[in-house]
């Protein structure tokens, strides 16, 4: 028995091969995604992006605003697109990208009439980045987190309040500055309390006194003074202990720390934000 004969296909002519190659290229081109905004006007792109924002489609809005920045370059609409993109990035939980977009806007448009909003939004992004999940997790202390975002938030709000005292965003910025200062002061006190509970009384005194020296009229200073008082007591430094107690009683006549100790912070200030 002989093996079955294999069929032989004659080789294609050069012309046929060229036609086939051209068809392959055209097929490949036809499979590429088509940009639906190609023939849209800048106003059309902006309208579509705003519709996405209104419906909560922040991630879909971002590339539309990016296209608008390019199509309307050098116009107020491009500046508006940049700000709107930063807001969409913020709402999409992309704080780093939002900050980068806002920094670029502030650098490129220092005289923009929307500069106050850019500063406010930058402060807000860092403010909420500092909060993280604290709004959803009860009894967790903001001061126990890294305070870098809180400090950057405060600086943005302070620049807004200083440069644009009559801005519509300034009243809210002032409130958030107060809250942020409380958080920063409480961060120092949290460390002081940590040292105290571990018997590092000198370190506790130093950290609490740092809070007292650096901040004014914030709730955390009551506990800071109490930590200094208790630390002097633990060290047997009676005169300094008694002097600190008198300061605590005079400054905070209704203080619960003297009667409840550290239990007085069971309902911390930050839970009421």
Domains present along the chain, CATH in parentheses: 40-108 (1.25.40.10)
Q: Give CA torsion, residues 14, 17, 21, 24, to 10 deg.
A: 170
pLDDT for 37-63, tens place per residue? Answer: 888 999 999 999 999 999 999 999 999
Model confidence at 26: pLDDT above 80:
no
Residue 234: predicted pLDDT: 97
Residue 148: predicted pLDDT: 85
**Per mean pLDDT, which range of 140-154, 195-209, 237-251 is the poorest?**
140-154
**Mean local confidence (pLDDT), 67-81:** 94
In the structure, what pLDDT confidence band is assigned to residue 273 with cuts at 50, 70 and 90? very low
- For 235, the 3-state DSSP assignment is coil
Residue 205: predicted pLDDT: 97
Residue 147: predicted pLDDT: 77
Neighbour-count burial for 233-272, b at 16+ CB within 10 Å, e otherwise:
beeeeeeebeebbeebeeebeebebeeeeeebbeebebee
**Per mean pLDDT, which range of 27-31, 68-72, 83-87, 230-234 is the poorest?**
27-31
Residue 48: predicted pLDDT: 95
**Mean local confidence (pLDDT), 218-229:** 95
Q: Give CA torsion, residues 79, 175, 220, 122, to 10 deg.
A: 0
Question: Which is more confident, 130 or 157?
Answer: 157
Model confidence at 141: pLDDT above 60:
no
Q: Which of 94, 93, 68, 100 is nearest to 81 (CA)?
A: 68
Model confidence at 1: pLDDT above 60:
no
């Amino acid at each position: 028995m002989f093996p079955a004969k294999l069929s032989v296909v004659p080789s294609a002519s050069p012309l046929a091969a060229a036609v086939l190659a051209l068809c392959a290229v055209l097929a490949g081109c036809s499979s590429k995604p088509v940009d639906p905004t190609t023939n849209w006007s800048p106003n059309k792109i902006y309208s579509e992006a705003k519709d996405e924002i209104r419906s909560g489609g922040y991630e879909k809005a971002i590339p539309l605003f990016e296209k608008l920045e390019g199509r309307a370059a050098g116009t107020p609409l491009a500046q508006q697109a940049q700000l709107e993109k930063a807001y969409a990035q913020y709402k999409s939980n992309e704080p780093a990208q939002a900050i980068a977009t806002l920094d670029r806007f502030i650098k490129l448009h220092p005289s923009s009439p929307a500069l106050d909003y850019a500063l406010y939004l930058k402060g807000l992004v860092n403010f909420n980045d500092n909060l993280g999940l604290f709004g959803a997790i009860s009894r967790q202390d903001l001061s126990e987190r890294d305070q870098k975002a809180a400090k950057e938030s405060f600086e943005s709000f302070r620049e807004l309040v200083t440069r644009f005292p009559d801005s519509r965003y300034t009243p809210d910025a002032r409130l958030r500055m107060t809250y942020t200062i409380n958080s920063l002061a409480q961060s120092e006190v949290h460390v002081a309390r940590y040292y105290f509970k571990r018997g590092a009384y000198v370190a506790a005194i130093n950290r609490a006194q740092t809070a007292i020296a650096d901040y004014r009229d914030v709730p955390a200073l009551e506990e800071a003074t109490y930590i200094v008082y208790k630390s002097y007591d633990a060290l047997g430094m009676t005169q300094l202990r008694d002097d600190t107690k008198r300061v605590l009683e005079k400054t905070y006549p209704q203080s619960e720390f003297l009667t409840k100790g550290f239990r007085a912070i069971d309902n911390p200030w930050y839970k009421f934000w």
